[in-house]
């Protein structure tokens, strides 16, 4: 395995941690109505392009392959999704969340603590990873492939 693929995975993972807190910040400070609502959607979804651009650019330059650039995009987005949901689990367990205090580790002696965690982990954490992971695989590939296509066309060397 080339080191660059590990770098792509780590970049995606750290981006996922960043994105967890970034989404909270955007949701908290921007209303969902009017022009600001459209700006909010752009900020929420557009941020996912940020880790792809340097990786796809590097992969396009290194391999000259649109397919490999697409795979890099998938890997980055999938790693980001995994990190996002693991960060969510860590926050619920150790930092706490006002709407779900029963999941904080300090409540572990409560009779339904583990049952609550089983449900949250199964449906929210793993369910979210599965749902958004599929989108990350397909979407990351498409966006990485298209970005690579644009970059390689500008260079004048397009290959599969």
Give the Cα separation of 132 and 77 in Å (integer): 9
Specify if 160 maps to a domain.
no
Q: How many residues does the chain have?
A: 160
Specify if 128 maps to a domain.
yes
Containing H/E element for 89?
helix 66-90
Across 31-49, average pLDDT: 88
pLDDT of residue 30: 83
Over the Cα atoms of the chain, what is R_g? 19
Specify if 34 maps to a domain.
yes
Backbone angles phi, psi at 26, to 5 degrees: -65, -45
At residue 3, does pLDDT exceed 90? yes
In tens, the pLDDT along 110-149 reads 999 999 999 999 999 999 999 999 999 999 999 999 999 9
Q: Which domain holds residue 140?
A: 3-155
Specify if 138 maps to a domain.
yes
Whether the model clears a pTM of 0.75, i.e. scores above it, the answer is yes
Specify if 7 maps to a domain.
yes
Specify if 66 maps to a domain.
yes
Total domain count, the chain: 1
67: which 2 tokens?
């397919």
Give the Cα separation of 73 and 67 in Å (integer): 10
5: which 2 tokens?
């693929």
51: which 2 tokens?
């880790």
């Amino acid at each position: 395995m080339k080191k660059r693929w590990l770098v792509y995975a780590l970049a995606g993972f750290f981006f996922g941690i960043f994105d967890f807190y970034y989404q909270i910040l955007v949701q908290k400070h921007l209303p969902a109505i009017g022009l600001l609502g459209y700006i909010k959607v752009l900020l929420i979804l557009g941020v996912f392009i940020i880790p792809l651009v340097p990786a796809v650019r590097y992969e396009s330059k290194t391999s000259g392959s649109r397919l490999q650039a697409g795979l890099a995009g998938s890997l980055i987005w999938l790693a980001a999704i995994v990190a996002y949901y693991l960060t969510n689990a860590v926050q619920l367990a150790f930092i706490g969340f006002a709407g779900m205090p029963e999941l904080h580790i300090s409540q572990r002696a409560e009779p339904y603590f583990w049952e609550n965690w089983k449900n949250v982990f199964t449906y929210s954490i793993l369910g979210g990873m599965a749902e958004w992971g599929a989108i990350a695989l397909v979407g990351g590939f498409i966006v990485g492939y298209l970005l690579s296509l644009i970059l390689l066309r500008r260079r004048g060397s397009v290959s599969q």
